[in-house]
Structure 1
Amino acid sequence: MSSDFWSRSFERIARLIAPRTIRVRRKPGAPSPSQRVPRPRLGSPSGFPTMGRMDSDWEGEYDNAGGCRNTVYTTPQTVIAPEWASVTIGFLGTQPLDRAIARIAATAGAKVSVLGAPLEPKLRTVAAHADPASVVKGARYAILPVFAPGRSTQANTNASFAPERAYGSALGGMSTGARLIAPRADAALTRHAAALGLTVHSYEDLLRPILDAAGEAIDELFSRVEKAGSRLQGSPVCVIAGERIPDLLILRLLDAGARVHLATNERGLDDVFPGVAVLPLSELPVQSPKFDAIFSTINGPVVDARELGSLPDHALVVDLADPPGSVDFQLAKQLGRKAIWARGILRRVPSLGQAYWSVIGGLIASLEQNES
């Protein structure tokens, strides 16, 4: 047989076994992905027998598939995670974000000390102290208060706050060769640390790309909300959340002037977001009539006939959950509700605690490896 016969045969076999791909289906004017994407699994997920493939004129079926990327900073592959049980870290910040990072560090296995009240629920590897000197005594790392983006930025960047004045000689009780982890390392803090035999390491440059990428994803979401004819300024909106609280989304909604409500069964969040009303998920059907928009982040049948039927006619429903999602889109269309399936966007928007620890933990891991 000729070589052309075998060549054509191998080409046919290659086409048969090649992964099936589809072009991203998008509305006119939406950005095109840079390449083809794997064919998604479609069908009617359990819990939503009527929810399957959406009509082509519904924005958000596949147009964000190319953006389902995780941009959270992780330690380079050449950096080996340390034996966290031998790492002692003192957290000097007392805000919810500082404590969220401390909890993640303790969950990783590090020995953690926090300033102020104990973490709830309590963790075996976390100790709470009333004064900074006790928090950092004998610690290898001290984490200075973090600067959260959003509404709290002005308070966090208050020029009157300076770590070298706030903690003074208390930092001198750390272990030999200990390190300060700070958002920024200015000259005054560096000189003060050097006088105590400490070194300062900043992470602002590493953190900025993560927050910038998350901000771009939320900008994309808000652009689609505006395109749908909904306005956020002065509007009552509800964010539905499970264990993972989308704090960056909430902060941006507040900055946009929305009156934000958080529907969740998680406890202890009443004072975490000033100006946000927290309500249990069981009250959502009763409260729905007053919302102009609902942003759902729970992967499961949450926004169904009860919520969709009680929403105002002009209300917008945004499903931010991964497939199978949380909104019954076919019922929403039957009821004339505006709806957006913004699948994959939250993969680009980590929680603030995860974003900060991915950088701080990666920095500590790198420092530990350099010392070994």
Structure 2
Amino acid sequence: MFETVAVIGGDLRQLTLARLLKREGYHVFLYGFDKDIRIDALEFDRDKDFALSADIVILPVPVTFDGTTINSPYAKNPMTVEEFLYGINPSALVFGGQIQPNLQKAFEENQLAYRDYLKREELSIKNAIPTAEGAIEIAISETPITIHGSKSLVLGYGKIGKILSKMLFGLGAQTYVEARKYADLAMIEGHGYEPLELCCLKNKIGDFDIIFNTIPALILDEEILSNVKKDALIIDLASKPGGVDFEAAKALGVRVIWALSLPGKVAPVSSGAIIKDTIMNIIKELGV
């Protein structure tokens, strides 16, 4: 049974995670929160060496942007990856989100046990809720019309697509949903939305006021974008490389917002709780 947990780097999601773990009785070390944020000095131990000695070490999402330092927007001096690898307790269990292949290799070379919590199905499902809410927030603030009565299209009927289409329908949007599987198209119709096959997208795309893409592959290419209404808004929720030809959209004057990492931006407290629950699920499965 582990007793000490270190949360190193990250944003308000990781701070929420640390507070939730402490509330449950764990001894939590916090490192990387000493700039542009106020935390009670008595709330956490914040010594770097203590943090690296913990039984469980939790890294942020993503673990690093530059491959050199731990992603730490609230740190005066972010911990380097080299410092982490050199000082980490060799028997620690390391958690991180979106652990890059080169970092995975470094963990393995140092014989560190690690898990990428961003790959967990339950986290993806729960994260779809703040993602959908954030997408709707953008649509409300960036368009001169109400969601109610708008013609809104959701591309893709995966985790985010399912929740987003339900929310749009609940707000009174004329909700169209694109899917490839016939079973999904039937389910879309069963929920009262309008199903749209991908083969019909080119001819139908000009009907919509707001277009939400959830597919992480190029769907909205130059040919399709040329048919989009000039006053329409496209909100791309797909991870890199996205689902829109951004250069073509700019040339055509089509407005696109690439809305990445919405859970941490629109609902960091809820997102931190989701990460915490996911990590605890993994720990239970491992019997640690």
User: For this structure pair, what is the TM-score category when the shorter chain's length is used for normalisation?
Assistant: 0.3 to 0.5
TM-score (norm. length: structure 1): 0.37
Looking at CA atoms only, which structure, 1 or 2, has the larger radius of gyration? 1
TM-score (norm. length: structure 2): 0.47
